[in-house]
Structure 1
Amino acid sequence: MTASLFLCSLAAISVALTVELAAQRAPVGPATRSYVRFDTSVLALTNVRVIDGTGNAARENHTLVIRDGRIAAIGTVASTRIPDGAQIVDLAGKTVMPGLVMVHEHLYYPVGAGTYANLAESFSRLYLAGGVTSMRTGGNMNGFAELLVAKAIARGEKPGPFIDATAPYLEGPGMGFNQVVALRDTSDAKKLVAYWADQGATSFKAYMNISRDELRVAAREAHARGLKITGHLCSVTYREAADAGIDDLEHGFFAMNDFVPNKAPDQCVGRGGAATQSMANLDPNSAEVQALFRHLIDRNVAVTSTLTIFETFTPGRPLPQGLDVLLPLLREEYERRHANTQRNTQSPYLKAFAKGMEFERAFVKAGGSLIVGTDPTGGGGLVPGFSNQRALELLVEAGFTPLEAIRIGTLNGARYLGRGTLTGSLEVGKHADLVVLNGNPAANIADVRTVQWVFRQGVGYDPKALVESVRGKAGLW
């Protein structure tokens, strides 16, 4: 090869690498631009406290360099060179941590009479405003809506986090939701997975009345396509689901019906209420429960904590934050429901809520993989973004350290989604998915609420602008 050809080849490689790197910065379309505060190829965040999401201790007085949407350098202020031409932001007294990776989220909300409204527009903004840079929807009531909004966000046409978009529920007869088609048999289960995978769904969720055989066939079809399946179960036990090939179990151990007396195969008992009552009477350190933990762990089954939704069922717990972003009628309806919950002296959650926390802590101690989400459904009241921050607070209340809770809400989720090499922790080469906070959540987990800016693939968003764009209107769109 001649010298000129060699130099041309080097130039071509350099251009290709530059294009590849540049493509990593999240695109910003006209409809998204008004929420963006930082969009530059090289940015240096300096004099900042770093919580990297791995569980390591916070590091003071650091500089983090972002180049073309990726983390290019992290180190002490003294040891980290800031590139020429970089935009420099002094963050003295502030903290930078990974963007949240939440894995039981929804783009719909209960609006009455067993109906769930599609709120993909407002909810995707609220998730991002709360520091969520990646999420998995834990069930789909609106068909193509969330698949399409996920793609629009990826193109920069709408603000929001990366979305692992779940297909419509895999559910058998009996639930009675008018937005969920009931499976008739295993053939239906296979066809539904195949159809929605072809349409772009990247995840699947089994629901409360699915049969063991339907779950097994659905899991096999999803895995053949490199996709995962989770479940909020009732008709199928946790052990049976693990044997059927499920990847994840929703709602911690509140939905565990392995120890419900006289549980009939493929039959949901009491819409899950029996499972919660059963759990409340169990010792998570007992031999039988520990054996179930080991069964799940040996089969690489993760468990999703959703303490936020169960808090709304538990007397004595506070009103959720962020209710003022809801349509007034929805906010007032939830406030009435909350008041009624406070008067319920017979609620099983008076005992079960704390026991559910114990189970999650014991599962992790046994070596289990715990991830976290919020499930903004039930009787309402959970507002995206605000509830994701609350989820970390509740993990700390459950006995995890703040750094452990942050890891559960970031790196654990990213690894479950198969995106651990891209996001979930602050490491050189990963996407610049991060949150700037006006506090120190390593010392006080409530400081996760002090979000100043949220970066997704190096583009920095203003959370206040995102929240104000939907205040009082979430519930319409």
Structure 2
Amino acid sequence: MPEGASLRGAWLRRGFLSALAAPLFGLGQTAAQDRDALSDEVRSYLRVSAPVVALENVLLFDGTGGPARSGQTIVIRGNRIESVGGAGEVEIPPGAERLDLEGHSVMPGMVGLHNHMFYYQSTPRASQMQYSGPRLYLGAGVTTVRTTGSVAPYQDLSLKGSIERGETPGPRLLITAPYVISPGPDERLRDLGMYAIRDEEAARRYVRYWAAEGAEWIKAYTQITREALATIIDEAHLQGMKVTAHLCSVGFREATAMGIDNLEHGLWANSEYDTTREPDRCSPNYQRSIAELDMDDPRVAETISEMVAAGVAMTSTVAVAEQATPLVPDLTARDLEALPDHVVEAEMERRSIFRTTEMPWMIDLFENMLDFELAFVEAGGVLAAGVDPAWGALPGYGDQRNFEILVEAGFATADAVRIVSANGAEILGLDSELGTVAPGKLADLVVIEGDIELRPSDIRNVRIVFKDGLGYDPDRLTAAVAGQVGVR
């Protein structure tokens, strides 16, 4: 067979296969949680559990991208939003628990599109977060998570079931299979449990296996060939799954032509502007090429145009990208409370290195990332966000920081809310059920003390998190994980 023939065949078949798979996409876990089946521990984290609840006098950011609306009332019945409107427009049912939330913002529960259930440290060390992760995510207002890459897939699947049965508090989970790569020189990737596929049949068998085990997404990683990636996309779509990737050896335009569904990390992971890049190889110079990229270069517009035309979504992970620049912020008091001492010490050392290293071009790279995301959205692209918990970007807290950075970069507050909520739901195929605040939607809401339009950092002041109509106390959830992120 001529070189690349099977690759081209996968591209040509993509339209037909996607049509077959489309009805299967988006069948997420949105069934109402049985309140009677909640464990005593889950109940201990609840602040509001009445069957009918009215949130009154709130400043509402509904996730659609429309302007904030003040003086709004939201009525929740069971696990659904019953009605939304201004004072006098909404009838509050007799017996409802009424919460006067004047001075508070309300937004949809955040949808984390790159939110692992492990925490990556600088040793390197990846520590599973079966206990601390779900509590910290939920306490910060993240009510839905895609586990975008797994190092312990059966633990992730077990956690998903435990949350759905009401045994463990946490966001609803959509599971991504273990990372998949091609054989290559980076032994570190194999050390982290990534699967190096040998041939086309191995690639297809891998996808079928994890589809049968309950994974909804596949994630390819940096060391992957074009032919392997095309085969994985082809088989995943046959199985009703979607594919995302943190790329390097393959460029964004190449992956877009193959029919990939989602691209992670934005411009940070696009090697196609590196003129020294060899086919199917990850160049060590590609990030420097991004930093030196002129954002008016017509190649940038071409990439964005092709992604938008093909419906390829992108995930912003600017909170963790910030951690890899001289701009890295200090650990906050809440970070220090959540992390054990040995992780804090390692993180302080890492920050010192990044702040003193002679890599000022990393700031240019970061700024180009933000400009790329603004241009992508302006062109009609669907941008979501996720924390990618690593270094000092903690579960949930990093999702909040994503929102802050997006606003700092130039996004309107309402657009930033949409990116961290509704757009993620759309990419997951769950937008008919969640992601915006509207009658009939699942009651996933974040109650925040303050005005996130006047002060984006107010998003850190979460007071109640509603998931499936139940109001969780973030203080109890975060207190439960003190000193345990990175060890439990």
TM over 0.5: yes
Q: Does 1:338 align with 2:360?
A: no
| Residue 429 (str. 1) matches residue 443 (str. 2) | no
Contact conserved, 1:130 with 1:386, CA < 8 A, in 2?
Answer: yes
> By how many angstroms is 1:25 displaced?
6.3
For structure 2, the residue ranges without an aligned partner over 5 or more in a row are 1-29
Match of 1:470 among 470, 474, 481: 481
1:258 equivalenced with 2:272 (yes/no) = yes
What SS is found at the alignment partner of 1:421? coil
**Mapping for residues 153-172 of structure 1, pairs under 5 Å:** 153-172=163-182
Amino acid at match of 2:242: K
2:194 is aligned with 1:185? no
Residue number among 91, 99, 109 corresponding to 1:81 in the alignment: 91
Q: Would you say the 8 A contact 1:45–1:91 is kept in 2?
A: yes
Name the CA distance, whole Å, in 2 between partners of 1:473 and 1:289. Answer: 42
In structure 1, list runs of 5 or more residues that go unmatched: 1-20
Deviation by residue 1:256-307 (Cα, 9 ceiling, x = unmatched)? 111111322111112xxx2221122223333221111111111111111111
Percent identity of the aligned residues? 40
TM superposition shift of 1:409: 0.5
1:306 aligned residue (297, 317, 335): 317
For residues 218-257 of structure 1, the aligned pairs below 5 Å read 218-257=232-271
Q: 1:392 to 1:96 in 2, by over 3 A?
A: same
Give the whole-Å Cα distance in 1 for the aligned partners of 2:327 and 2:120: 23
Residue number among 445, 452, 465 corresponding to 2:463 in the alignment: 452
1:369 is matched with 382
1:30 equivalent to 2:44? Answer no
Shift of 1:216: 1.1
Contact 1:320 1:387 in 2 (8 A): no
Per the TM alignment, residue 22 of structure 1 is displaced from its structure 2 partner at its CA by 9.5
**1:196-247 CA distances to partner (integer Å, 9 max, x unpaired)?**
1111111110001111111111112211222211000111111111112211
Specify the SS of the correspondent of 1:120. Answer: coil
**Matched positions, count:** 452
8 Å Cα contact 1:35-1:466 kept in structure 2:
yes
Tell me, yes or no, if the aligned pair for 1:323 and 1:383 is still in contact at 8 Å. no
Partner of 2:66: 56
User: How far does residue 360 in structure 1 lie from its aligned partner after superposition?
Assistant: 1.0
| Conservation of the 8 A alpha-carbon contact between 2:276 and 2:283 | no
1:14 — aligned with what? Answer: none
State the partner residue of 1:15.
Answer: none
1:24 positional shift:
5.7
Which secondary structure does the structure 1 equivalent of 2:346 belong to?
helix
Following superposition of structure 1 onto structure 2, how do residues 13-28 of structure 1 map, counting pairs within 5 Å? Answer: 23=32, 28=38
Contact 1:320 1:382 in 2 (8 A): no
- 3-state SS of 2:471 partner: strand
What residue is the counterpart of 2:128 in the other structure? 118
- Superposition pairs of residues 179-218 of structure 1, within 5 angstroms: 179-218=193-232
- Which of the residues 295, 308, 329 maps onto 2:342? 329
Q: Distance in 2 between matches of 1:431 and 1:399?
A: 30
Q: From 98, 109, 127, give the equivalent of 2:108.
A: 98
Report if aligned partners of 1:285, 1:362 keep a CA contact under 8 Å in 2: no
Find the aligned partners of 1:146 and 1:334 in 2 and give their Cα distance: 26
Distance 1:35 1:417 in 2: 27
68-77 or 169-178: bigger deviation = 169-178
Matches within 5 A, 1:292-303: 292-303=303-314
Q: CA deviation at 1:395?
A: 0.6
Residues 401-426 of structure 1: CA deviation (Å, up to 9, x unaligned): 11111111111111011000111110
- The answer for the alignment partner of 1:359 in structure 2 is 372
Task: For residue 434 of structure 2, give the secondary structure of its aligned residue in structure 1.
Answer: coil
1:316 is matched with: 327
Aligned residue in 2 for 1:13? none
Task: Provide, for residues 179-207 of structure 1, a one-character-per-residue CA deviation record: whole Å limited to 9, x for no partner.
Answer: 22211122221111111111111111000
Matched with 1:401 is: 412
Moved over 4 A (4+): 24-27
- Is the 2:33–2:164 Cα contact (8 Å) retained in structure 1? no
Measure how far apart 1:34 and its partner are: 0.8
Tell me whether 1:152 sits opposite 2:165 in the alignment: no
Q: Are 1:168 and 1:180, in contact at CA under 8 Å, matched by a contact in 2?
A: yes
Q: Structure 1's 374 and 260: CA in aligned 2 closer, same or farther, altered over 3 A?
A: same
CA distance in structure 2 between the aligned counterparts of 1:469 and 1:153, rounded to whole angstroms: 17
How far is 1:118 from its partner? 1.0
TM-score relative to the length of structure 2 = 0.90
